[in-house]
Chains A and B, each alone.
Chain A
Amino acid sequence: MQRTLTSLLFAAMTALAAQPSVAHHSFAAEFDANAPIELTGTVTKVEWANPHTYFYMDVTSPKGEVENWALEMGSPNGLMRRGWTRDSMKIGDVVTVTGSRAKDGSPKGNARSVVLSTGKKLFAGSSQDNAEAN
């Protein structure tokens, strides 16, 4: 009982103390905040690297065509401080991403949150969340 409550308290405090989104480059130069995406696909590659973690996934269109998407997230440190671990997402996992599409129309996006194959939803450290000025 105490452990549960302590965990709850810790989670609440962590949420309150959450760091602003990881910022590295201009969000608006690359992505379109007015082009929201929600995609479900199969993970093909994960690049757990700085300044941004990327993962790639195959998304099947209604016509049956498979397109490989690139999704940008925050830095590995930023993700780990949000509850990610290196094996939160593995090749072959089916995940659902919400975020914004690239301005150039290519199959690329900036992820704000990811629902993992376990059903757990994690925030992706998007640079959009704090980019109110630009």
Chain B
Amino acid sequence: MRNTTILAHAIAMTALALSGSAFGQRPAAAAKPPPAPTPRLADGTVDLGGDGIWDQPWITDFGKQLVGDQQIPFLPWTKAMFDYNKSNQVAYDPQGFCLPPGGPRMFGTPYPSQFIQDRNRIVVIFEGGAHVWREIHMDGRPLPKREDLNPTYFGYSVGHWDHDTLVVETTGFNEKTWLNFNGTMHTDELTTVERISRPNRDTLHYEATITDPGAYTKPWTVAWNIPWNEGAELAEYICQENNKFLLELKDDNGNPFFEDVPTEKP
């Protein structure tokens, strides 16, 4: 019986893949069995972990992930910097230097992640970026004032459950990251509110509202889904070991980025 089921499934998937390519359509999702329900811990809380990893997608353009808004509400300087960053093919993206993506971008960086749920905290381990983790305090402590914090790549996070959605507030970011690969920048006034849910075992819905009066005219929200990869594991990834990209990176004048080359006198 099991053989027959597998056979039928394999044939169905192959047929769908073939018909999909023949007609220029994606294979229908209907071939997949319905995903397992949202896993829960003994106390009923949504379990964001399990025997697997979250296969984070590569989100290269936050402008395409907007919720509600039609466009990113740039201030003139962030629009100018966005255009400048585009003009040099985002060559100076801090992540290219093996620095952490920081903020919501971390969940749109295509290396997998895992959630470790403790009673009073949730730790998210990211394979990519720079092999980093985030700690979300779940013990009810208030979010500190930005001025009282040492600014960091991931800031300081407190979280709580709103029914089945994990709500994470973060402040205390440094200015050493870009919000997104395509060159959207921010200031240390940045705060984020992330809403993370797991509508079924195989889907993490990620949503982040970005508020930064130093960089944008109003708060804006981006969202995407992250698929679960049951049974897969994280692996080591040390970005800094052989970053050849930097060795040949040039500045705007065509000089090596990391070499002190005397400029010609006019």
Contacts and interface: CB of A to CB of B under 8 A. Distances in A.
Q: Do A and B come from one complex?
A: yes
Interface of A: 1-2, 5-6, 8-9, 12-13, 16-17, 19-30, 47, 49-52, 54, 72, 75, 77, 80-81, 104, 130-134
A128 to B, nearest CB: 12
Contacts, number: 112
Contacts of A22: 110-111
Given A9-B9, A9-B13, A54-B242, A24 B95 contact: yes
B81 interface: no
Contact of B96 (A5, A24, A77, A104): A24
B182 interface: yes
Contact of A25 (B10, B93, B229): B93
Contacts of A51: 98, 237, 239, 241-243, 245
A6 B91 CA distance: 44
Contacts of A50: 237-242
Q: Is the interface of B mostly helix, strand, loop or mixed?
A: loop
B235 A77 contact: yes
Contact of B55 (A17, A25, A27, A54): A17
Given A29-B90, A133-B181, A134-B181, A23 B109 contact: yes
Contact size range, B: 35 or more
Interface of B: 3, 6-7, 9-10, 13-14, 17, 27, 55, 57-58, 60-61, 64, 86, 88-91, 93, 95-96, 98, 109-112, 127, 181-182, 227, 229, 232, 235-245, 248-249
B111 A8 contact: no
A6 B13 CA distance: 12
Given A77-B127, A130-B60, A133-B182, A29 B10 contact: no
Given A17-B227, A132-B60, A25 B245 contact: yes
Contacts of A13: 13
Contact of A49 (B86, B91, B242, B248): B242
A79 to B, nearest CB: 11
B7 to A, nearest CB: 6
Given A20-B110, A23-B109, A5 B7 contact: yes
